[in-house]
Amino acid sequence: MSTKKYDTGNTSDDVNADGVRCTVGDYPYFGAVGDFNNDSKLDLVVANSFESSVSLLLGKGDGTFQDQTKITVGYEAKSIVVRDFNNDDKEDLAVVNKWDSSVSVLLGNGNGTFQNQTTYGIGFYPYYIAAGDFNNDNKIDLVVNNEVDFTISILFGNGNGTFQNQKVYPLRTTYVTVGDFNNDNNLDLVSSYFWTVNVQLGNGDGTFQNQIGSLVGNEPVYIAVGDFNNDSNLDLAVANQGGNSLSVLLGYGNGSFRNQLQFSAGDGPQAVVADDFNNDEKLDLAVVNAGMSDNRDKSHLGDTDGDVSIFLNSGV
Ligand SMILES: [Ca+2]
Ligand SMILES: [Ca+2]
Ligand SMILES: [Ca+2]
Ligand SMILES: [Ca+2]
């Protein structure tokens, strides 16, 4: 892999895409994409952390967006997952509200509007959310990590846009996401905690096996899942906030991974995105560096300029 860097130089409450600025709400923390008005043009949703809203930016298909529409959720939205929870072919949202210890589910009307939120109680200090079918009933379920409780909450879906009350499992993690890491068609969990990422293989009935740990850098805070070496086994890319590094773990296809490849990232990596940025059909990585060295308090993120490190996949 090779690396190059570019500076976004942007710390205000804007989304900045190649010079196009779109105003959103106060302290935007997370973004996701989907097509919410069924015009085959990608739209953006942004979690506004210091107000009770997400901003919807409908895409014009040319890289620009209409002015935001705000959608009411709980306070301190930290992450969003986009899926179709009620099988009507219209994309829906689930939003984690950290302060409220809740998840807001918003069913899409398919025209860029949403029904009012339904909220579900989860644990204390929730941050990240992922969606998948954990009990193989063809209904999408949700998983959230509750950072201070040292738990995860799983909300099993009813297939009609409603969810059952949380099931709580003990797990120390700063992040949670999903993938099938042993190719048995049961969805597995991957999480992170000091120097380690942990895979828990799914049993296909909504329960999970014990953790399989792999060593990464200091303070892993975000994991991207993809097949980076095209061997049909899922791999992991991990942003190590404390280590200012990126770890790549290539999967064996049984839930374990080769020893990490570690790369220097920027200052305070917070997130990593896997996509093919140069159209060579290999997944590249973009690491978002918050610029934290002057102030390690998360509540002051953004006081220092951040940047993005791009890692082009040269074919491992
Ligand atoms: Ca839907
Ligand atoms: Ca399910
Ligand atoms: Ca599996
Ligand atoms: Ca692979």
Distance (Å) from CA 316 to ligand 4 centroid: 10
pLDDT at residue 14, rounded to an integer? 52
Distance (Å) from CA 230 to ligand 4 centroid: 5
Distance (Å) from CA 47 to ligand 2 centroid: 25
pLDDT at residue 291, rounded to an integer? 81
Ligand nearest the Cα of residue 157 is 2
119-151: b (≥16 Cβ within 10 Å) or e = ebebbebbbbbbbbbbbeeebbbbbbbbbebeb
Distance (Å) from CA 18 to ligand 1 centroid: 31
Ligand nearest the Cα of residue 206 is 2
Q: What is the pLDDT of residues 181-214, one digit of tens each?
A: 999 999 999 999 999 999 999 999 999 999 999 9
pLDDT at residue 180, rounded to an integer? 98
* Angle CA 231–234–240, to nearest 5: 125
pLDDT at residue 3, rounded to an integer? 57
Which residues are in the CB-under-5-Å shell of ion ligand 2? 133, 135, 137, 139, 141
Report the alpha-carbon distance of residue 100 to residue 103 in Å, rounded.
9
pLDDT at residue 307, rounded to an integer? 85
Distance (Å) from CA 183 to ligand 3 centroid: 5
pLDDT at residue 5, rounded to an integer? 54
pLDDT at residue 316, rounded to an integer? 55
Distance (Å) from CA 118 to ligand 1 centroid: 14
Distance (Å) from CA 237 to ligand 4 centroid: 11
Distance (Å) from CA 180 to ligand 2 centroid: 15
Distance (Å) from CA 203 to ligand 1 centroid: 27
Q: Which two tokens stand for residue 224?
A: 């991207």
Distance (Å) from CA 227 to ligand 4 centroid: 4
Ligand nearest the Cα of residue 228 is 4
DSSP the chain: -EEEEE-----SSEEEETTEEEE--SSEEEEEEE-SSSSSS-EEEEEETTTTEEEEE-B-SSS-BPPPEEEE--SSEEEEEEE-SSSSSS-EEEEEETTTTEEEEE-B-SSS-BPPPEEEE--SSEEEEEEE-SSSSSS-EEEEEETTTTEEEEE-B-SSS-BPPPEEEE---S-EEEE-SSSSSS-EEEEEETTEEEEEEE-SSS-EEEEEEEE-SSSEEEEEEE-SSSSSS-EEEEEETTTTEEEEE-B-SSS-BPPPEEEE--SSEEEEEEE-SSSSSS-EEEEEE---TT---GGGTTSS--EEEEEE----
Distance (Å) from CA 162 to ligand 1 centroid: 11
Ligand nearest the Cα of residue 135 is 2
Which residues are in the CB-under-5-Å shell of ion ligand 4? 227, 229, 231, 233, 235
Distance (Å) from CA 84 to ligand 1 centroid: 4
Distance (Å) from CA 204 to ligand 3 centroid: 8
Distance (Å) from CA 105 to ligand 1 centroid: 10
pLDDT at residue 300, rounded to an integer? 47
Distance (Å) from CA 104 to ligand 3 centroid: 28
Distance (Å) from CA 193 to ligand 1 centroid: 33
| Ranges of the chain whose pLDDT falls below 70 | 1-20, 293-304, 316
